[in-house]
């Protein structure tokens, strides 16, 4: 049994933000997630720190909120952010009238925006559609969400918080009209653990309705809106490029680390764990890319994935004002809404506004505890971001050049040296190559793990003392996971790469016949992939 002031359910950006905020205010915190941190929507999003421009016409309140938070997140989380800047461009496919509405909307909502000459934009971004007629510069940026979420979690840990990934909430402890904590199940060992908390915060995004149901609370309806994104090899653009039109599908390209990501769609689904990718969505997305960057479809597509938007609709009887499905965030204080104390739900919103969502939530926690503890997350820099510098694309290469002769390179695409891999294995305490992928970007480049993952498995085997069947299982699970995102976009160079990877895994390693530990659900796919 653990006891704490605040139990936070959900280790996405919102939950990790709540943990960091509460720990900074001196509260004792336990943060749990059913899987690794940032593997829900936060780990499956588009990677954009919104300037607010996207919402300047359609949703002025959201635009103001994003503009405000953009400034703060840049200040406190610089190491996770690349200051790419953003452009809104009017292509021949966009209504030219929108451009003036956009400029007026930015002025009205405080989104910094400067109109520039299209010729200047084409000089900066030569791959852009040469027929663009209007261009506006805004302070969009890209963000590495795993770096952000782990920095939030580590910052909280440094202040005493306990962070428990792979711990699923299977029951909420409720006594009469009070929530007293939850029961967790370790998803790896099956062991159960009770947490007694003075306040329990559900920051479980698209799963918030399910957690509320565990507490016996009805009407918290979160409708998952599924969207796909496609990572293209290389940086086709170095600036976030938005179509200057009412927000729609496939109208943003975000340069992030070594790739450019186009997104997204919005398809209703009933299941937040539905990650299906429809061929029609992929085709439409590539067509959309072509409108912004001619030649987009013949560039190399690396991978496709999906995320689910937590779109909140309050279906509780008598709550009339919030019946609309909303993209804004919703903080439900269940002591007011349902007369159940010790329980809060925070859901919806955007990654860009995670800090504000956390601030409002911990304010509500403090009210429930009857304590006045001011929020400091707008000024306290995160671990790793103390020097206020942004991440820069050349940083890894710069570090690599310092150790060229004394540190073996494990992943050529993402320039990951052996020492960094070994440090991450020890720090994360994991034998899961996918966990390491997220914190290092291992296997996320053009070969999708073809060249690096068997090397990494060998190192994991040696360092962690994994026996051979367990190491084989780790390798197979990684290959299976990668295959899910590669399979729907196989054409051109990436198809050639996939065939080559198949020869490596099948021809050199004969992975189809490796002895593994207990069969994991992913193995079937891996065997199909290397058939």
Ligand X SMILES: Cc1cc2nc3c(=O)[nH]c(=O)nc-3n(C[C@H](O)[C@H](O)[C@H](O)COP(=O)(O)OP(=O)(O)OC[C@H]3O[C@@H](n4cnc5c(N)ncnc54)[C@H](O)[C@@H]3O)c2cc1C
Which residues contribute to the site for ligand X (CB under 6 A)?
9-15, 32-35, 39-42, 45-48, 50, 168-169, 203-207, 227, 229, 263-264, 307-309, 349-352
Separation of alpha carbons 73 and 289, rounded Å = 28
- In angstroms, give the least distance from the CB of 169 to ligand X: 4
Tell how far CA 213 is from the center of its chain: 25
- Closest contact distance (angstroms) between CB of 482 and ligand X is 20
**Nearest approach, Cβ of 507 to ligand X (angstroms)?**
37
Distances (CA, A) of 412 to 441, 443, 453, 485: 11, 9, 11, 20
Q: How many CA atoms lie within 13 A of 100 on its CB side?
A: 2
What is the nearest approach in angstroms of ligand X to the Cβ of residue 12? 2
Minimum distance from residue 182 beta carbon to ligand X (Å):
8
Nearer CB in complex with ligand X: 252/420: 252
Least Å from the CB of residue 43 to ligand X: 7
Per-residue burial over 488-519, b if 16 or more Cβ lie within 10 Å, else e, is bbeeeebeebbeebbebbbeebebeebebeee
In whole angstroms, the minimum distance from the beta carbon of 484 to ligand X comes to 16
> Residue number with the shortest CB distance to ligand X?
12
25 versus 309: smaller Cβ distance to ligand X: 309
In the bound state with ligand X, the residue whose beta carbon lies nearer, of 118 and 205, is 205
Minimal distance, residue 308 CB to ligand X, in Å:
5
Check if the beta carbon of residue 22 is closer than 8 Å to that of residue 219: no
Nearest to 150 by CA among 435, 361, 353: 435
Pick 210 or 455: Cβ nearer ligand X: 210
**Cα–Cα dist 162/432, whole Å:** 21
What are the CA-CA distances from residue 315 to residues 135, 172, 222, 337, 361 (Å)?
Answer: 42, 21, 10, 12, 21
Contacts of 387 (CB under 8 A, 6+ apart): 78
* Strand pairing report for 329-333 and 141-143: unpaired
Whole-angstrom Cα distance, residue 19 to residue 32? 10
User: Could you tell me the smallest distance in angstroms from the CB atom of residue 207 to ligand X?
Assistant: 4
First CA to last CA distance, the chain: 47
d(CA 66, CA 110): 10
222 vs 420, beta carbon nearer ligand X: 222
Q: How far is the CB of 120 from ligand X (least distance, A)?
A: 25
CB-nearer residue toward ligand X: 46 or 461: 46
Instruction: Kindly tell me which of 41 and 480 has the beta carbon lying closer to ligand X.
Output: 41
- Name the residue nearer to ligand X (CB basis): 311 or 498: 311
Tell me whether residue 46 or residue 127 sits nearer to ligand X (CB atom). Answer: 46
Output the CA–CA distances (angstroms, integers) from residue 172 to 11, 163, 327, 336, 348, in the order listed.
Answer: 17, 18, 27, 19, 21
Closer CB to ligand X, 14 or 448, in the complex? 14
Q: Where are the beta strands (DSSP E) in 146-258?
A: 162-164, 167-175, 178-186, 192-202, 220-233, 240-243, 252-256
Q: Which helix (H) or strand (E) holds 35?
A: none
């Amino acid at each position: 049994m653990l006891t704490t002031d605040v139990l936070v359910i959900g280790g996405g950006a919102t939950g990790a933000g709540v943990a960091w905020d509460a720990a900074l205010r001196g509260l004792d915190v336990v943060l749990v997630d059913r899987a690794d941190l940032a593997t829900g929507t936060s780990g499956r999003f588009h990677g954009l720190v919104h300037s607010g421009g996207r919402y300047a016409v359609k949703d002025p309140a959201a635009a103001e909120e994003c503009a405000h938070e953009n400034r703060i997140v840049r200040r406190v989380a610089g190491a996770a952010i690349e200051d790419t800047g953003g452009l809104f461009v009017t292509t021949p496919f966009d209504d030219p009238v929108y451009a003036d509405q956009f400029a007026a909307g930015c002025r009205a909502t405080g989104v910094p925006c400067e109109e520039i000459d299209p010729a200047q934009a084409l000089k900066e971004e030569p791959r852009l559609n040469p027929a663009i007629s209007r261009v506006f510069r805004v302070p969009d940026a890209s963000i590495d969400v795993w770096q952000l979420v782990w920095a939030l979690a580590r910052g909280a840990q440094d202040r005493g918080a306990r962070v428990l990934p792979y711990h699923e909430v299977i029951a909420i402890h409720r006594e009469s009209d009070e929530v007293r904590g939850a029961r967790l199940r370790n998803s790896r060992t099956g062991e159960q653990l009770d947490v007694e908390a003075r306040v329990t915060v559900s920051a479980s995004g698209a799963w918030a309705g399910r957690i509320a149901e565990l507490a016996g609370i009805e009407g918290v309806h979160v409708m998952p809106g599924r969207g796909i994104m496609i990572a293209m090899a290389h940086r086709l653009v170095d600036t976030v490029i938005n179509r200057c039109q009412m927000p729609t599908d496939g109208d943003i390209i975000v340069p992030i680390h070594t790739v450019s990501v186009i997104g997204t769609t919005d398809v209703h689904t009933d299941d937040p764990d539905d990650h299906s990718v429809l061929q029609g969505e992929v085709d439409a997305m590539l067509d959309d890319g072509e409108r912004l960057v001619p030649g987009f479809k013949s560039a190399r597509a690396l991978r496709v994935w999906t995320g689910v938007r937590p779109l909140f609709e309050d279906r509780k009887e008598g709550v009339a004002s919030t019946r609309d499905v909303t993209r804004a965030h919703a903080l439900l204080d269940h002591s007011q809404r349902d007369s159940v104390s010790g329980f809060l739900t925070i859901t919806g919103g955007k990654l860009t506004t995670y800090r504000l969502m956390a601030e409002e939530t911990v304010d509500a926690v403090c009210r429930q505890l009857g304590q006045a503890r001011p929020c400091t997350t707008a000024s306290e820099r995160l671990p790793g971001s103390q020097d206020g510098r942004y991440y820069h694309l050349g940083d890894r290469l710069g570090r690599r050049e310092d150790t060229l002769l004394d540190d073996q390179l494990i992943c050529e695409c993402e320039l990951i040296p052996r020492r960094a891999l070994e440090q991450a294995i020890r720090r994360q305490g994991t034998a899961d190559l996918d966990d390491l992928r997220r914190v290092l970007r291992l296997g996320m480049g053009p070969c999708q793990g073809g060249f690096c993952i068997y090397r990494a498995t060998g190192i994991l085997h040696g360092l962690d003392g994994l026996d051979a069947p367990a190491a084989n299982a780790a390798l197979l699970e990684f290959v299976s996971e990668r295959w899910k995102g590669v399979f729907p976009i196989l054409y051109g160079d990436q198809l050639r790469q996939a065939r080559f990877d198949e020869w490596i895994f099948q021809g050199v390693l004969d992975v189809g016949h490796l002895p593994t530990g207990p069969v994991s659900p992913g193995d079937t796919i891996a065997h199909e992939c290397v058939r």
